[in-house]
Amino acid sequence: MGKEKVFVTKASMPPYEEYIEAIKPLWDSRWITNMGYYHKELEKKLKEYLDVPALSLMVNGHMALELVIQAFDFPEGAEIITTPFTFISTTHAIVRNRLEPVFCDVKASDGTIDETKIEGLITEKTAAILPVHVYGNVCNVEEIQRIADKYGLKVIYDAAHAFGVKYKGIGIGNFGDASVFSFHATKIYNTIEGGAAAFSDQKLYERLYNLKNFGIRGEDLVVSVGTNAKMNEFAAIMGLCNLKHTAENISRRKRCWELYKNNLEKTEGLLLFQENINVEKNYSYFPVLVNGSFHRDRDDLYSKLKENNIYPRKYFYPLTSDEKCFGDKYRKNDLKTARRLAAQVIVLPLYPDLEFDQVDRIIHTIKEM
């Protein structure tokens, strides 16, 4: 058994002294929330980094998604076509808006929504398509937009895994009507907790501003009903500090990612998702599919790795459509490929501080089982 525990991820943090120095002004101003200087500065810096027309910071990625959906003011009970192969947040954001998720199967090649099956799910109640750039694998944005334009639908991308990703040289946040990012501690870039929505329509910025700040537009003026989804100044400063180190962190991830790939892609019974040559990756995850020709199934491999103090994750199992909180309500659609991936995928540890000898240990443990 390995001596040290290796978890699937570890939060990236700037040097301690850098962050402590950066937060010192807060003790003078005592302005630690309500969209102060650092909130505004981070919003500006992220807009530049992601190369998007407009961006609104939020307290977390889930609230960003939930409020973007709300901002489009879909009629209650409207349907949103989405993927079940994602974190539960994607589905909850739809359901909490009193809308109906309609689950579309995914592609075996990369785990993203199967665009060839979207049109068959469109009804008179369909209002939007909500795909996910899962593991940073980019959806077929051209075909999805073609379908949306044909039927007059909104497109909202869950880009929680795709921070910094570019497609054909274009920042991933430029596609669809909006794209939502997560800055959770487990992501490649974090603000401790945080998120943002990127979009091109400035009217959406104003709508989101109202939604995340109780609709307050003046000392004595509340213009609409909203909630509290503002990012605080401590989180914004963490984001500003981490942004300085993001390029190096992605470079470190890439080295570990390539070490995994070079040693596992030819292993019988282990498959990797296809790479898209038009995508500039962020190396956020290293998913592996365990198929029938491997000498252990996915769950057995998962257990054996844990016995060796290696803690991968079964992202994403079960499918969100199959979660207990929904009962059998959303199990009617054919999700054959998604269920197969959910039973086969295991995500291996990957983070900037992961050492090469730890990666070698994980690879050796897998091959020696």
Q: pLDDT tens string for the chain (369 positions)?
A: 447 999 999 999 999 999 999 999 999 999 999 999 999 999 999 999 999 999 999 999 999 999 999 999 999 999 999 999 999 999 999 999 999 999 999 999 999 999 999 999 999 999 999 999 999 999 999 999 999 999 999 999 999 999 999 999 999 999 999 999 999 999 999 999 999 999 999 999 999 999 999 999 999 999 999 999 999 999 999 999 999 999 999 999 999 999 999 999 999 999 999 999 999 999 999 999 999 778 789 999 999 999 999 999 999 999 999 999 999 998 888 999 999 999 999 999 999 999 999 999 999 999 987
Nearest residue to 62 via CA among 154, 147, 182, 161: 182
pTM: 0.97
pLDDT in tens, 132-176: 999 999 999 999 999 999 999 999 999 999 999 999 999 999 999
- Report helix, strand or coil for 24: coil
11: which strand partners? none
* Helix or strand holding residue 60 (H, E): none
CA angle 139, 340, 154 (to 5 degrees): 30
How far is 29 from 34, CA to CA, in rounded Å?
Answer: 13
**If we measure between CA atoms, which residue out of 282, 80, 323 comes closest to residue 182?**
282
305 in helix, strand or coil? helix
Q: How far apart are CA 193 and CA 186, in angstroms?
A: 9
Rounded to 5 degrees, what are φ and ψ at 158? -85, 105
Domains and CATH numbers, the chain: 16-240 (3.40.640.10), 246-367 (3.90.1150.10)
